[in-house]
Chain A
């Protein structure tokens, strides 16, 4: 059995739903499939808290948002892409307003904006501190209007179908029944988000396993800038639950064990009672996370059973402001940490949050592989460069979700029908899943053990600071884990809602994606943004003002090439904060 659509979207989060609506509006005759391993409203966009950047203030300008983004990304952003992004972000956020997103308002009814890290002006639209939740539900509910959008909820994509150099669909597993079948299409858009679960301590949901990155990589598309992993400076210890940057934007302080606002020691400006743009607690995330490590080395952090922490102090903001501006922060602290930020200090530590890298795409979300597109965190356009600014990822998934949808729709309108060869590929894939997983009887390795060893090794070898030595050790460990994975035991052979099978497939995805991270980091012998090499502490524009492209070689290893960064009007300069 097989089904066919004009376009298949893999992933039903913000980018996927925005793309689906864009296609439905662009050409209502096209049949659209949204294939998602969870119900769309479970997608991880739901967890985004602080807000979405888009210039609307009378005192603000596109030019300033562009500059903040480019300098925040340590000049690794493609400047033509940033221009498009900044220009289209406000209209996309406005469109969401028309679709019902409950943006916070000024007293006169206009949309309100708040400050955010690394941004020089107030330009972050927000729906309290559940912005991602409201955006996702608005998109999902709006998508229900369009009858051309057919959903495959709780279908897990295992493979892209590629023939004659063109992507022509996917193979997917229906969790409910265990059925594996091809869903063919003239174009496929990957919108599967990031891969934070490769690391042990992350804000990312359990479903963030780099599925789309691995699918693309295995199909021959390159992954770009995979060495750039964002640590968010303020995660709750143990759970990794994110405390949004909005907590600092609204006035929170970061203090060490002596109650000292330590960021003043790291070239991030002077402490003031109230938040100052691009300064101190409103510095960029990479610099704040790096400052934490230095502070830890100086013995000025607080040790806990779940690692060292510093404190986020919100007490001076008062109950009223906390409830009005960051109610979810209070809810999360109370429910998950048993701490009330109105009266107590909140323990926080840096936590893996976001992948700047991803599937290499152009400004329209097109990958080098015909028929394959990508948008959102899974993709690397690149507007985030070496360090993403907070509140740029939500507008990114709207802008590039819409663009990818439109371009894929154009492509699908004129593309040929899928070839017969892909059905044979789908049969092979079915056999592979049976042989290697469901009917496998031998196998001694425990899934969770391999996963934990991978996570631990990735933190040790490719954490906030890396070196040639740690990365080489990480590479060796990954090779070992890849071999051991072949011997993994699968205890569940049933078809009905088998969750062990997708967990095994996700681990295989993560091992591939982890390898591209390690190799990209190993080859980049400089420090830039979130990629800090202790053995190469300086930025090296001479050699590395270039995107890395990780491509799977014919022998299965990962090869690295470079692609120059697109520089238009903003020549590389020094990143200055706190001035």
Chain B
């Protein structure tokens, strides 16, 4: 194995660059090193002007998503040696505006997150004195998978629909809506459905499944959206044929 590897990194500084360019750096290619270690080597030893986000380096904070050789990846969990002898292309996540270098603008997602009401909705709050909601391990399993999303944006980067239609709510936010819909403590599925059953809500998804393949946490947003569509269709049918019985919306 070569002991060095070349990283071709997208550079874009809006104050001086008209458009993005690629810049090549050589970094050590150690067995333990991930792409993020290579970027930090560049930042610390070669070029302090390179900008990128990172924090936990253990695949849980969701900061360091980038496009590595064309695929959305958490760079803290992507080993350099898997790409030997290189070179490795490192670009910002796709489908987002580039702020600078490897940093993208994710304000759109943050706004969509609020839209799906990702919190427990109750008609009446339960007083603390009444203790916990009983929730069996089976009921927990119903939504647990959808609660594992780290908001790393890899699924948005992989989603062909979001790339074409920025109004589409998108995989992570929809999976999160489903996470609360399926939680036995929640009573908000009807409210969420009202917000999401428009064309740019769930219906935009053409079920390509790229989001689920890109997800580093096995959340399966595609499955969540599919289930959501099914329950939305059923609710619609119910409302159409039995308008008196459509209230719970599940």
A positions within 8 Å CB-CB of B:
38-39, 41-44, 46-47, 91, 94-95, 97-100, 102-111, 130, 133-134, 137, 141-142, 144-145, 153, 176, 205-207, 238-239, 241-242, 328, 331-332, 335-336, 446-448, 489-492, 494-500
A448 lies within 8 A of B44 (CB): yes
User: Can you pick out 16 interface pairs between chain A and chain B where the beta carbons lie within 8 Å of each other?
Assistant: A38-B53, A38-B61, A39-B110, A46-B61, A46-B150, A98-B126, A98-B133, A107-B136, A110-B134, A133-B60, A134-B147, A206-B57, A242-B58, A335-B59, A494-B13, A497-B103
B77 within 8 A of A: yes
CA distance A104 to B139 in the complex (A): 11
CA distance A522 to B58 in the complex (A): 34
Chain B 118-135 near chain A by CB (<8 Å), digits 1 or 0 = 111000011010011111
Chain B 37-59 near chain A by CB (<8 Å), digits 1 or 0 = 00000011101110111111111
CA distance A45 to B126 in the complex (A): 26
- Nearest to B134 among chain A residues (CB) is A109
CA distance A100 to B52 in the complex (A): 33
- CB proximity of B189 to chain A, nearest CB, Å: 14
Contacts of A495 in B (CB 8 A): 15
Contacts of A99 in B (CB 8 A): 119-120
B60 lies within 8 A of A130 (CB): yes
B22 within 8 A of A: no
A144 lies within 8 A of B114 (CB): yes
- Nearest to A497 among chain B residues (CB) is B100
B99 within 8 A of A: yes
Contact of B144 among A102, A109, A239 (CB under 8 A): A102
A42 lies within 8 A of B61 (CB): yes
Contact of A498 among B51, B58, B185 (CB under 8 A): B51
A111 lies within 8 A of B61 (CB): no
B55 lies within 8 A of A38 (CB): yes
A491 lies within 8 A of B47 (CB): yes
B32 within 8 A of A: yes
Contact of B137 among A46, A105, A144, A336 (CB under 8 A): A105
Interface residues of B in 53-86 (CB under 8 A from A): 53-63, 77
CA distance A104 to B183 in the complex (A): 13
With A141-B119, A144-B119 in contact, do A206 and B54 touch (Cβ < 8 Å)? yes
- Nearest to B148 among chain A residues (CB) is A130
B246 within 8 A of A: no
A448-B43, A497-B99 known, 5 other contacts, Cβ within 8 Å:
A42-B61, A47-B56, A98-B120, A105-B136, A239-B58
- CB proximity of A234 to chain B, nearest CB, Å: 14
B99 lies within 8 A of A494 (CB): no
CA distance A409 to B143 in the complex (A): 36
- CB proximity of A338 to chain B, nearest CB, Å: 9
CA distance A108 to B147 in the complex (A): 22
Chain B 161-195 near chain A by CB (<8 Å), digits 1 or 0 = 00000000000000010001001011000000000
6 tightest A-B contacts by CB? A109-B134, A448-B44, A491-B48, A141-B118, A492-B49, A497-B100
Residue tally, chain B, CB below 8 Å to A: 60
- Nearest to A109 among chain B residues (CB) is B134
A491 lies within 8 A of B120 (CB): no
B57 lies within 8 A of A496 (CB): no
CA distance A201 to B186 in the complex (A): 42
Contacts of A335 in B (CB 8 A): 59, 77
B239 within 8 A of A: no
Contacts of A336 in B (CB 8 A): 58-59, 77
B230 within 8 A of A: no
CA distance A44 to B54 in the complex (A): 12
Contacts of B57 in A (CB 8 A): 205-206, 239, 241
A496 lies within 8 A of B147 (CB): no
- Nearest to A95 among chain B residues (CB) is B128
B137 lies within 8 A of A107 (CB): yes
CA distance A499 to B52 in the complex (A): 8
B10 within 8 A of A: no
Among B58, B132, B133, find the residue whose CB has the most chain A CB atoms closer than 10 A: B58
CA distance A134 to B60 in the complex (A): 11
Contacts of A176 in B (CB 8 A): 99, 105
With A98-B125, A239-B32 in contact, do A109 and B139 touch (Cβ < 8 Å)? yes
Contacts of A110 in B (CB 8 A): 132, 134
B180 lies within 8 A of A109 (CB): no
B136 lies within 8 A of A109 (CB): yes
Contact of B55 among A103, A104, A142, A205 (CB under 8 A): A205
Contacts of B128 in A (CB 8 A): 91, 94-95, 98
B134 lies within 8 A of A100 (CB): no
CA distance A142 to B117 in the complex (A): 9
CA distance A110 to B137 in the complex (A): 9
A491 lies within 8 A of B56 (CB): no
Among B45, B49, B51, B55, find the residue whose CB has the most chain A CB atoms closer than 10 A: B55
Contacts of B180 in A (CB 8 A): 100
- CB proximity of B203 to chain A, nearest CB, Å: 24
Contacts of A137 in B (CB 8 A): 147
B19 within 8 A of A: no
B234 within 8 A of A: no
A46 lies within 8 A of B47 (CB): no
- CB proximity of A388 to chain B, nearest CB, Å: 20
Contacts of A491 in B (CB 8 A): 47-49
Contacts of A105 in B (CB 8 A): 135-137, 139-140
CA distance A492 to B106 in the complex (A): 23
- Nearest to B131 among chain A residues (CB) is A94
CA distance A336 to B31 in the complex (A): 11
Contacts of B143 in A (CB 8 A): 102
A241 lies within 8 A of B134 (CB): no
- CB proximity of B92 to chain A, nearest CB, Å: 11
CA distance A47 to B61 in the complex (A): 7
A494 lies within 8 A of B15 (CB): yes
- CB proximity of A195 to chain B, nearest CB, Å: 15
Contacts of B58 in A (CB 8 A): 47, 239, 241-242, 332, 336
B55 lies within 8 A of A100 (CB): no
B44 lies within 8 A of A447 (CB): yes
Contacts of B45 in A (CB 8 A): 448
CA distance A205 to B148 in the complex (A): 20
- CB proximity of B96 to chain A, nearest CB, Å: 13
B243 within 8 A of A: no
B144 lies within 8 A of A42 (CB): no
Contacts of A492 in B (CB 8 A): 48-49, 51
B28 within 8 A of A: no
CA distance A142 to B183 in the complex (A): 15
Interface residues of B in 86-103 (CB under 8 A from A): 99-101, 103
